[in-house]
Each structure stands twice: as structure tokens, then as C-alpha cells.
Structure 1
Amino acid sequence: MGAKLLISTIGILLLVSGGSYAARILAIVPTVSRSHHIWNSALTVALARRGHQITAISPDPPMENNPNLKHIIIEGAYERVQEVFDLEGLVDESDIDALKVFWKWGLETCKQEIQTKGAKELLRMPPDSFDLIITEVLVNECFYLYLDHFGGGTRIPVVGISAFGIAPWTDLATGARTMPSVFAFPTLPYLSKMNFWERMKNTFITGLEWIGMMYYYLPQQQKIAEEAYGKPLPPLQEFASNISLLLMNNHFALNGPQQQLPGIVEVGAMQCSPPKPLPKDIQSFLDGAEQGAIFFSLGSNLRSENLPKEKLQIILDTFAALGPKVRVVWKFDPKVPIKGLPSNVLLKKWLPQEDILGHPKILAFVSHSGLLSTLESIYHGKPVVSIPFFVDQLTNMRRMVEMKVAEYVNFVTITKESFTAKVLKVINDPSYRRNMQTLSNMLRDQPETPLDRAVFWVEFTLRHGKGGRVEALRYAGLDLAWYQYFSLDVLAVFAGVIMFAVLVVVFVIRALCRCFVKPSHGKDSSKKRQ
């Protein structure tokens, strides 16, 4: 124990003095999404390559074998999601139902993951095992119990990460407020500039999310965490407020300018990199596309094989209509062989998305428009045919359509004619590629890569996170109630003073009137008596 403390102390001193230090870092990344895992792994692998000792708990295996990277697997998480959720059926959910599904996702995955062997293995580790914690700040709040166990925010600093980007629930960690007048709720297909009715609906959904989160969702997460921990915990929002720094998958090229605190660092497209060589069969297939190729993927959670048969047939008919000179690479693992599969279509259970998007023959990306896929399409300069289903996908689609780099296809009303027309419009109109290339140039034009920036700020937090927090980055808004943050208490006092002053003036005027204005009924009554 003494040796560990000595080594840790020497390491911190080296960091403060600007030297390098192999820190012991815990990465809590339990989100059930392979795409999120790719984004998170970009950071953990980079830190491991720099010599830090990383312990990551995740439902996914490591992206790279590295002696500095230990993975604790959360087993059964993907099976639980497939069992509970019909993800492909969420495309026609109402806005309120979509919010309920988001909460249900967080609660159901937390219930399952926190009771797994991997989660219990981590809980058995000594409290002084780590020098810093990296934790996701998205729908897995029950995992904040590990912040209590390892002293995150009190003994060692905590860095929050979110592949989802900025959202109202990140306010818990920043103390800022995502204003509904200019910040569209992630499940709504709105932009920053909203009309009156959009602002009204956005304010309602944002307020509903806050009320539901504070009085329903977080108390449920608290219960799950305490049952797994075996003892009471401070409120989970207190753990969130002790996070020193947030690394967010966000960039103004897609989301526009947003007010940011110094403790919110944008590392959008952190997972993106130049394309690597493709497997020979995929390389040969794409190289042979005479008029170019299309890449079709619905991401890591949505699965083409689970789509309704009539929708699959529409998609197959559309790709066949493109002709043999336009080829299609489709992330698709059919349960039974596809009868009549067009000769221009290649199906694969798994595909290296970035490497395919980087191939020069790719003309367009038919995508569900999740944030990670959207940023990868921008990074590689490929226009999009967007088929959004749920959560932020509608918002990302709307932004890309507004910037004229994408076309929208409604999956509920999709037909062969409408889908074919949108695909042909995107691949035949060069303006989509030009506009996307402009966005790509903006995204790439940075003084350092987003990954290098993320690594720097993690090590910055290690160097300066004395007492468990980087106090210089802590926003005063974290210590204010919502009514104090918006100065409603001050406005209430002002309103009270003004109302009191008005009442005093009215009282004085009425008193003066009674003193100096004689009642007229006295003279009239004397006349009547005469």
C-alpha cells in the first residue's frame, strides 16, 4: 500500500512539473453501442500507447491488443438490448415516447450491466487502484457508484466523455444550461434557429426531460446503483457535478456555434483517421465499380436483417434499378440467403466503415445518420442519403439537408420510386459532393487532431486535478439551483419591490383623494330635503 502511494505521488509530481507519467486510469464506458465503443477506444488506445495503464470496463472487446490496456467485459449487454427493444420499430415513435424509450434504455441496460461478473470484478478492486477516472456521461448513471468506490471527484479527478455530443443531461456535469431557445433537444429535428412553434415544442420537451430526469429517471438509477453497491450513495447528480472536464463529440461544422465553458472540450470526430487498406474482396469489388459505388449501413445497433420484409424488398429493388455500373456495399447479415440478390450488391456482416468511406469510388453514404456516422461522412467528404430512425438521427439529418449535403428518405413512407430518386439525385448532382468537401475541409482544419487534443486534456486533468477536481475549470453555476441560475429569486424580489411601490403609490393617491375631494352626495341630499 505504501509503495503504491509513493509511486502515485511521484507520478503526480512529475505531471505537475511537466514530465511524463504512466498513470493508472479507469475508463468506464458501458454504453451498449459498438459505434460509441469505437469513439471511446480511440482515446483509451491513444492513452495506452503513451504508456498509461488503462483499465476499461465495456460490453465490447478491445479494439487493439496493447499490454497497457486491460479490458473488463460486461457480458450479455447486447443480447439484453435486442431482447427488450425493437430498435427498427422506433422510427414512428412520438416525441414523448422517444423520450421514454431513452430513459428505458438507460434503466434497462444499467440493471443488466451493473449485476454482471465484470461489474462485480471492478467493484472488488482496492479503492486506491487508480489515479484518474474517465466515465461516459450518457444514460449509464448507475456506474457513478465507481466514482464513490475509487474516490472520483474527491481523491482523484474525473473526466467525462460523450460520443453522443452535448445535450441537456450534460448540464449536470457542467452547471451550464442548454437554452431551449437556441439549443434543439437531440430527439427533435430542429436547428438552432427555430420559429415560435418549434421553440414552444422544444421548450416543452426540454422541460419534460429535466423534470422526468430529476424526479423519475435519476431516482431509479440511484436505486439500481445502491442495490448493486450494497449501501447508500450521495445523489448521483453530485457525482456528475464533481467531473472536472468533459470531452464532447461535437464540432461547429455540423452543429453550428454554441456557447462553451472552458471545461467543455470539443473533440468531434476523434475516432476519424485516413483510410487503411481494405480486405481484398471489398477492395476488388469497389475498384470494379465503373460509375462509382454506394455504401449502405444503419450503424451498429440498427440491423438491416430486422427490417420489415416489404421495406427490404424496396431497398433491394432500388439498388437493382441503379444498374450494374453502380455497385453497393451493404452492412447486412441476412438470416436466410437473399433470393434474387442484385449482382451489383455485396453483403457483409461487418464492414470497416471509415476505410470504405475513404475509398475514392464511394459516391454516397446511405446512412441512419447517427452522430458518429455523420461525422465520418463529413470527414471523408461523402454526401448522404439519410434514413433516420430515432434519438439524434432526425436532428443530424435536418442539419445535413439544410447544408445541402444530404437528402432525406422517410422510412415509414419509403417507396422504390422515392428512394431511387433521392439516391440518383445525390450521386448525380456534383453540388452535394462539393458542399460536403467544404464541410470536410472545415472539420479537418484544426491546429491538432481531436484525438491529440483529448489526450492533452486528460493529462492536463491529471497534472492539475488536486483534491479530485480541477477547481479552475469548475463553473459557479454548479452550485446554484435552477431558479438561482436564471436569477428568478432576484427577479422575484425586484417584482415584489415594484409591486409594493405601486401599491404604496395607489394607497397614497387614494388617501389624498379622500382628503381633498369632497363627496358630491352631501349637496344633493340637502336639495332633496328641501
Structure 2
Amino acid sequence: MKSFFSQSNVITGLFLALSAFTLSCSGGKILLYPVDGSHWVNMKVLIEELHSRGHSITVIRPKSSWYITEKSPLYTSITIQDNVNDFENFFEDYLSKAMEIERGEGSGLAFLKLQYDLFSMLSTAHEIACKMVSIILEDKMLVKKLQDEQYDLMLTDPAIAGGVFLAHYLKLPLVLNVRWITSGEGHFAIAPSPMSYIPLPGSGHTDKMGFAQRVKNVLFKTFTFLQNRFVVGPHYDILIDKYLDYKTDIVGLIQAADIWLMRADFVFEFPRPTMPNIVYMGGFRCKPSKPLPADLEAFAQSSGEHGFIIMSLGTLVKSLPADMANAIAAAFARLPQKVIWRHLGDRPSNVGNNTLIVDWMPQNDLLGHSKIKAFVAHGGTNGVQEAIFHGVPVLGVPLFFDQFDNLIRVQGKGAGKILKLSELNAEAFEQALRESLNDGSYKRNMQTLSTLHRDQPMRPLDTAIFWIEHVIRHKGATHLRSEFYKMPWYSYHSVDVFLVLFIVAAVCMLSTIAVIRYVCYKICCRRKSKSE
């Protein structure tokens, strides 16, 4: 009897596995509208997995793309002629100026000029994106081809929202690979976000804020609203007025997405309200480490009991100011650990014998090595999530954009430390590194985060693919999507309800006062007539 039940369980398990395989492998047709740069690195992970499961993928790409190749075994491409400025040079110039201001070498006027340049760049990026959509929609043959293909869904990154608009124009179910949208961090557009304990990006706050911090948080919210309303939104308004037959704005189109694949999770994020169509896939691109190339493995093994440190400041950072690079090199040289440093600038004159400078490193594989001790990082989302996955404490040197906020979350959970550019010199850098290496709480807390991150019923990547296929199977996910975005602001915040209740209460109160005064008046009149 026991044998019978064992065989029955095996057959049932095989049947369920085959059913799941059949569900996931009925290949769908996916139209993909990506964002270039590091966003493409994330999107490509999804593309590889979707392709391996039999889905057909078409990628719309600009001719000037940095990383999105025209020919690929993973997808077919539609290349759109565009006219794009050299944003890579912009980022280099912006970083250089931001470093000067952070280190106290720039004036207040220089800071304002830098902010103006950033807004101008954002405006230009969205303007170019909207022009690219216009080029697509003005090409009637291309539009007909896109319509005739009968795609099952649009997968896009809404940081630049051309794909969002095109999905609505083509009336396709919409799945977002998202953390950032045109108006900032994605949660703030779709989920309730009380300003009292949910910090705005850029504020530098955790979820524990005093009064002054809450005031700053509200001001940052106002600033974000104005940025979207006057810097970004007008470019999309032109598209909406020209090509859609209903009135909305770009945030409303983003809010109407079926599924939000959020590149974060609550190991990383502070606890906050969410929505049923937000699917958390933080760390979806993380994977176990592979063996290192022979030269790197030999260098790592030569570190002995002290182990090694790695340092990388991301793909956009080509070099650091010479004095800063020399300070970092001097601090590394005084450590007993070996160091692998991705540095593309001029080689510092004081590099120690323990330091290996490289143009590129297999970051994930190094973070998963048994002798890794710490990660010096700029705080990009990908690097932070890889550090969490492998349980490696972080010394963060944030440079721009969301990096400081990412590192605030790591530091707030006791798994890393932040060193601002304004504080960076050889002594401060060495002290911060030694604290990260010698204080065991950083390692323990990061390993706790790693354990929590890995303790999930499904891999984050499998979860993401499941929900993409769910949208394909059911032609959308309207059962999970709230339609609050169709409500006017005064209805969403119940201003009209409170106004009516106030009027009713005021009428009742005034009526009661009037009746009381009338009764009092009558009583007084009777007394007066009796006395006469």
C-alpha cells in the first residue's frame, strides 16, 4: 500500500510539472520597448529567460543605441532612425561637476547651474523619446505591421515612457519592468504613500522621520510633482493630444499598466503599502557565482586568511579626480587584504602591491567567492542587490541619482556604511574600510538579508516570468488593477465627500441655532406679554 501511494505521488507530481510546463511554454508574441544603458542590462535578463521558454520577442530600438544590438539570437529588432545627443559625455561632465560641488569646490551658483543642466538633460531625453514614438506612428506601414502581428503584450521600462504610450495606442496589455517612472520612484504613482514614513528619493531619509524630516519629505514630493508637470509631462501631452482620442496624462497611462514587475523587494525596501498588481522581483538578475578566470582566481587565493576586497563605481564612471584616486590607492595599500579595483582612469602613482587594477571584472562571481570580505560600490541597484544575494557588506560611495537612497537602505539595515564624497580622503576611506572589515555586525546583518532574500517560494526571475505569461494567458490582468487613476483628484482624496458632509453639518448646526433662537424669542415674547 505504501508503495502504491509513493508511485501515485510521483505520477501526480509529474502531471503537475507537465501541466506547469505546458502553461509556460505556449509561446507568446511580445513587443518590447526598452530603455538603454543599465536599464537594458536588467531587461536583457528577462529577454533571455523568455526566449528560453519559447516566446517570440520583437525589440524596438533607436539606431543610436549604446547597448541594444540590431541583430541578436534572442529577438528580432525594429530599428528607428533618431537624432540623439551624446548623453555619455553629459554623464561624465555631470559627474565631474557634481563631485566638485559635493567636495565644496563649487559655489551655490554652480549648484543651481548643475540642477538646471540635469533638468535640461531630462527634458531632452523625454523629448527625443516622444519624437521617436511620433516617427513610429507617422509610418503607417510600420503601424499596420505592428497591428497585424497581434502581439500578446507590450513589455517596457517606464523610466522613459515611449513604450507605455505605444502600448496604449496599439491597445496592448502592458507589463512594466520598473523601479523608476517619469515622475520618480514607481510606488508613489500607484500605491498609497503617506509622507509621514515613506521617504522620497533624494531626501536621504529612512522610514523613521522626525518633524523636520517630514517637512523636507513633503517639499521633495512637491518638487517631484513640479518636475513631472513642467519638465517631463509637456512632451507626452503633445503625443496624447495628437494620437489619443481621450484626455489623460503620461502618469495616468503608466498607472493603467496591468502588471508592475518591481525591481525591489522588502528585504531591500522599507515596509510600505502596495497594490495587488505590483510583483516584487528584487535580485531577479542575481545568480550563483561561477569559477573565476585563472589569473583572478590565483590573485584571490594569494590573499590568504585576510581575503580580498573589490571596488567598482559602475559603468558610467570612467575615472575619478587624480587626488581622490590617489587617496583611495593609498588607503588600499595600507590594508592586509588584497584589492581588485575596476578603474579606467590614469593609474595612481601610489598603487600598493596588494592592489590589482582592472578594466573589467566578473562582479557577481567575485562577490560569490569564498574569500570576499567587502564591496566598495557606488550604490547602483544591480550591485547592491548582488551584494545582498551573496551576503557581502558594502562600503558605499554614492555619486548621483538613486545611489544614495539605495545605500541609505543598506546602512539603515546595518549591512553597510556610507562615505560621502565630501568626506573622502585617505584617512577617512581607510577608517571606513577597516570598520566595514573588522566590525562583524556588518557581515552578520548582510548575511541575514541574504538569507531572507533567498528564502522565497520561487526565484524572483521565475516569479517575473510567471506574471508575464499570466498576462499572455488571460489577455491582461484587469482583475488586479485598481482604476483609481480615472478618478479626479478631489474624488480620490474625498474632498467632495468632506465638503458635502461639512455643508450638511453646517446647515444642521445653523438650523438648530435658528430653531433655538426662535424658541427663545417666543418664550421671551410670552413672558413680556404676561408682565404687561
What is the TM-score normalised by the length of structure 1? Answer: 0.81
Please state whether the residue corresponding to 1:347 is helix, strand or coil.
strand
Matching residue within 464, 486, 489 for 2:493:
486
User: Residue 20 of structure 1: which of 6, 16, 25 is its match?
Assistant: 25
Corresponding residue for 1:449?
A: 459
Q: Contact between 1:26 and 1:55, CA under 8 Å: does it hold in 2?
A: yes
**Segment drifting more, 96-105 vs 272-281:** 96-105
Partner in structure 1 of residue 76 of structure 2: 70
1:383-394 mapped onto 2 (5 Å cutoff):
383-394=393-404
Post-superposition Cα deviations, 1:205-236, rounded to whole Å, max 9, x if no partner, equal 1133124323542113434x579xx8567543
On the 8 A contact 1:166/1:248 being kept in 2, the answer is: no
1:327 aligns to 2:330 (yes or no): no
State the shift of 1:341 in Å: 2.6
Give the aligned residue type for 1:363: K
In 2, distance between residues paired with 1:167 and 1:444? Answer: 31
The residue number in structure 2 matching 1:374 is 384
Matches within 5 A, 1:107-506: 107-112=123-128, 124=142, 126-128=145-147, 129=149, 130-138=151-159, 140-149=160-169, 151=170, 154=171, 156-164=172-180, 170=186, 174=190, 176-223=191-238, 225=239, 235-290=249-304, 291-303=306-318, 305=319, 307-322=320-335, 325-334=336-345, 336-465=346-475, 469-506=476-513
SS at match of 1:273: coil
Q: Output the CA distance in 2 between the equivalents of 1:278 and 1:505.
A: 84
Confirm or deny: 8 A CA contact 2:192 2:273 kept in the other structure: no
Query: Any conservation in 2 of the 1:167–1:178 contact (CA below 8 Å)?
Result: no
After superposition, residues 504-519 of structure 1 pair within 5 angstroms as 504-511=511-518, 516=523
Partner of 1:4: none
Deviation, 1:278, is: 2.2
Please report how far the alpha carbon of residue 282 of structure 1 lies from its aligned counterpart in structure 2 after TM superposition: 2.2
Question: What are the residue-to-residue correspondences of 1:5-44 with 2, within 5 Å?
Answer: 18=23, 20-30=25-35, 32-34=36-38, 36-44=39-47
Q: Which amino acid aligns with 1:52?
A: H
Q: Tell me which amino acid in the other structure corresponds to 1:46.
A: E
| Preserved contact between residue 369 and residue 387 of structure 1 (Cα < 8 Å) | yes
Measured against aligned partners, the alpha-carbon deviations of 1:107-137 in whole angstroms (never above 9, x if no partner) come to 2223445667998699636122322110112
What CA distance in whole angstroms lies between the structure 2 residues aligned with 1:441 and 1:361? Answer: 19
Q: Aligned equivalents of 2:168 and 2:437: distance in 1? A: 53
What CA distance in whole angstroms lies between the structure 1 residues aligned with 2:519 and 2:184? 55
8 Å Cα contact 1:165-1:250 kept in structure 2: no
**Displacement of 1:274 after TM fit?**
0.4
Query: Which residue does 1:50 correspond to in 2?
Result: 53
Question: 5+ residue gaps in structure 1?
Answer: 1-13, 519-530
Distance in 2 separating the partners of 1:78 and 1:315: 33
Q: Deviations over 1:231-260 (max 9, x none)?
A: 567543343233111000111112133222
SS in structure 1 at match of 2:267? helix
CA distance in 2, matches of 1:476, 1:96: 39
Moved more, 496-505 or 453-462: 496-505
Letter in 2 for 1:45: E
Amino acid at match of 1:108: T
Q: CA deviation at 1:300?
A: 2.2
Identity %: 27
Change in CA separation of 1:50 and 1:65 when aligned onto 2, cut-off 3 Å: farther
Once residues 486 and 346 of structure 1 are traced to their aligned partners in structure 2, the CA distance between those partners, rounded to angstroms, is 57
Larger mean Cα displacement after TM superposition, 109-118 or 52-61? 109-118
Cα distance in structure 2, aligned partners of 1:117 and 1:457: 27
- What amino acid does structure 1 have at the position aligned with 2:54? G
Q: 1:46 to 1:404 in 2, by over 3 A?
A: same
Number of residue pairs matched? 485
User: Is the counterpart of residue 90 in structure 1 residue 98 in structure 2?
Assistant: yes
Please say if residues 71 and 77 of structure 2, whose CA atoms lie closer than 8 Å, have aligned partners that are also in contact: no
Residues 381 and 196 of structure 1, relative CA distance in 2, 3 Å threshold: same
CA distance in structure 2 between the partners assigned to 1:499 and 1:412 by the alignment: 57
The structure showing larger relative contact order (alpha-carbon pairs under 8 Å, at least 6 residues apart) is 1
Q: What residue is the counterpart of 2:5 in the other structure?
A: none
Kindly state the Cα deviation for residue 376 of structure 1 after the two structures are TM-superposed: 1.1
Which secondary structure state, in structure 2, belongs to the residue aligned with residue 421 of structure 1? helix
C-alpha distance in structure 2 between counterparts of 1:169 and 1:374, whole Å? 17
The one-letter code sitting in structure 1 at the alignment partner of 2:155 is: I
The CA deviation string for residues 34-54 of structure 1, in whole angstroms up to 9 with x for no partner, is 2x3222211111001111111
Q: Show structure 2 runs of 5+ residues with no match.
A: 1-18, 103-107, 526-532
Which amino acid in 2 is paired with 1:271?
R
Query: 1:168, 1:177 within 8 Å by CA — same for their partners in 2?
Result: no
Q: Supply the AA of the counterpart residue of 1:298.
A: L
Range that drifts further, 193-202 or 264-273 = 193-202
By how many angstroms is 1:105 displaced?
Answer: 4.5
In structure 2, distance between residues paired with 1:478 and 1:442: 34
| One-letter code aligned to 1:144 | V
**1:107 alignment partner AA:** S
Change (3 A) 1:78 1:246: farther
**Greater alpha carbon shift after TM alignment, 342-351 vs 67-76:** 67-76
CA distance in structure 1 between the aligned counterparts of 2:114 and 2:495, rounded to whole angstroms:
31
Contact 2:309 2:337 in 1 (8 A): yes
